[in-house]
A and B are shown apart, each in its own frame.
Chain A
Amino acid sequence: MNSSAASSAQTASPSGGVLLEVRGVAKRFGARDVLKDISLNIASGEFITLLGESGSGKTTLLRLVAGFEQPSAGEIWMSGERLDSLPPYKRRVNTVFQHYALFPHLSVRENVAYGLRVKKTSSSEIGGRVDEALRMVKMQEFANSRPSKLSGGQQQRVALARALVNRPLLLLLDEPLSALDANLRKQMQSELKALQRELGITFLFVTHDQEEAMALSDRIALLRNGALEQVASPREIYASPATAYTAQFIGQTNLLRGEIRGSIANCGVLRWPLDVPDSLAIFSLRPEAIRLCDGGVRQSNEVKFRASIRQQLYGGASELLEVDCGGGQLIRVRISARGPLSGELEFVFSISDAIRVQE
């Protein structure tokens, strides 16, 4: 992990005090290091997403916070209390499971009441809080149904109500939307976000879907092979990816590999002035940072190049071009839709949009 990612991992978002502190946590399963030295602070009221490919360790980290696994090294603290030595049922943390894990032998109402009932809450209070939770997720009319009679989206809502009714300090969500179809997913995303804003509960959300992470999160913690790659707000992580991996994982990008020599960056046929010491370098250049050059005067802070159109993928509002700027160097360019293009054209981008990233 490079230094900028490490520093942002330590700084929590300024919206509230630190709720959860993960300090140097590692997890080994046999000979496999699933998590390596993770440190992460989560602010109270924050919506933070653990993003990563399958096998990156994101679910393991969530399970460590929930208490289903014990860390091999490191500590987890919540509100000044050591969390990792407590059994799951003593943590003020609740989980929305990936496949909901609703109790099949209990009705929707009994499922939602479960947490309150095992904590011996008075039945009058249980009634009120369960009704409130069901109303919050718009499931009052299904209160007496069995989970097996509900659709995936409805089960999802019940799972959410069942967790939230306990008023946890931290809600863990393990890929809760992955089993839903695309439309329902979008709808649930916005409902989830609204619910989090309204309740002010801290959400720790796990997903492998970078678009979902971008849309929902205050901050994204990107995991790669059990280590934190970068922790930052969606805008920051997209605009200033620290590493080539981050740049490629979050959105689309062109990775330009080359070298800096004599204050000139050389990346194949593309070159521009850059006043840094000589070294090898990788730059991330987002497709939308490149535009068609309409014959204007070239600014000093811009790079112009000629390239031939290889492919044009129409995408409604925008289209993605794959262009060859000579020597087989392929660049992707996103422009607003403007009809079929062909032949050799001139493109331009700002030097400041070529973000230098680490390997």
Chain B
Amino acid sequence: MYSRAYKTLVSVPPLLWVGLFLLLPYALMFAHSFWAVQDQTIVHHWNFDNYLALFSKPVYLEVLLRSMRIAASVTLCSLLLGYPLAYYLSFHAGARKELLYQLVIVPLWVSYLVRGYAWKTILGSEGVLNGFLQYLHITHEPVAFLLYSPFAVVLVLTHIYTPFVFLPIYASLEHIPRPLVEASQDLGASSAQTFLRVVLPLSIPGLLAGATFAFVLSLGDFLAPLLVGGASGTMIANVVQSLFGAAYDWPLGAAISVCILILIVSLLFLTERLEKRWSFK
């Protein structure tokens, strides 16, 4: 049995941390979303106007929908890149496995900002890619949509979040007992049938975890649209940032934040249920 002093010592600091830096800010945000701005100051008049504004002005919904579209595209792209990569590493890489694994992880040690700027250099009208395309005479003038577009945001976010998608998928593939694959082949299943009937179903928890990572992190992303998104690539986090900054409309910003929070928490709840459904001992 542990002593009372020991229990207090280990439980109080983390609880305090969670209370002060998570629960309290959430409570403040929640309260703000029901307040109002009058004469450039926030007044504590409880009302639903912020939420009504949110759903009546199409601009917010439009940005929110665009953010979800971008997040969904990022999720799809990083799954299409991350799953085959994880599958290859887990099943076919042999002795190169460790090295390749490290190579996938390395970009995570490089600052997000550096990688964002790198893409700016590559995609810009004076950038590496446009220079290359013109050098080859494939295009005669810079291709504009490469930078400052939703395309650029999806590209950068896919680059950044693919390792996050790769990791849980790789872990779940590594957990599949290899005799199951042999048993499937032994029973007459080709490699493709074995993949579809055994490997894919047993890797669904990792796939869901990876997809959740990519979607949730992209949906709330702020830097990629700021760096490479331009006007057409603005996302919901940029709107919230401007409401809390220049526009000084904290209550509306808080209301949007609460909506995103509810969206994300429901999504996490759903995927956790699905992951449990697909977990087998």
Using CB atoms and an 8 Å cutoff, list the residues of chain A in contact with chain B: 66-68, 87-90, 93-95, 97-99, 101-105, 114-115, 118-119, 146, 148, 162-163, 166
Contact = CB atoms under 8 A, between A and B. Distances in A.
Contact of B188 (A98, A104, A166): A166
A101 B182 contact: yes
Nearest to A63: B182
A201 to B, nearest CB: 15
A101 B184 CA distance: 9
B92 interface: no
A24 B189 CA distance: 29
A95 B183 contact: yes
Contact of B183 (A103, A105, A119): A103
B197 A88 contact: no
Nearest to B190: A89
Interface residues of B, number: 20
Given A105-B202, A162-B187, A118 B182 contact: no
A119 B188 contact: yes
A166 B197 CA distance: 18
14 contacts: A89-B187, A95-B182, A95-B186, A97-B182, A102-B183, A103-B180, A103-B183, A104-B280, A105-B201, A118-B189, A118-B193, A148-B280, A163-B187, A166-B188
Given A89-B186, A105-B202, A148 B197 contact: no
Contacts of A114: 184, 187, 189, 197
Counting chain B CB atoms within 10 Å of each CB, which of A94, A98, A104 scores highest? A104
Q: Please list the 8 inter-chain residue pairs (A to B) with the smallest Cβ-Cβ separation, ordered nearest first.
A: A104-B280, A115-B187, A101-B179, A101-B183, A118-B189, A88-B185, A95-B186, A89-B188
Contacts of B193: 118
A101 B185 contact: no
A89 B189 contact: yes
Contact of B182 (A68, A105, A162, A166): A68
Contacts of B276: none
B191 to A, nearest CB: 8
Contact of A94 (B187, B278, B280): B187
Nearest to B201: A105
A77 B69 CA distance: 58
Interface string B151-194: 00000000000000000000000000101101111111110010
Counting chain B CB atoms within 10 Å of each CB, which of A67, A89, A90, A146 scores highest? A89
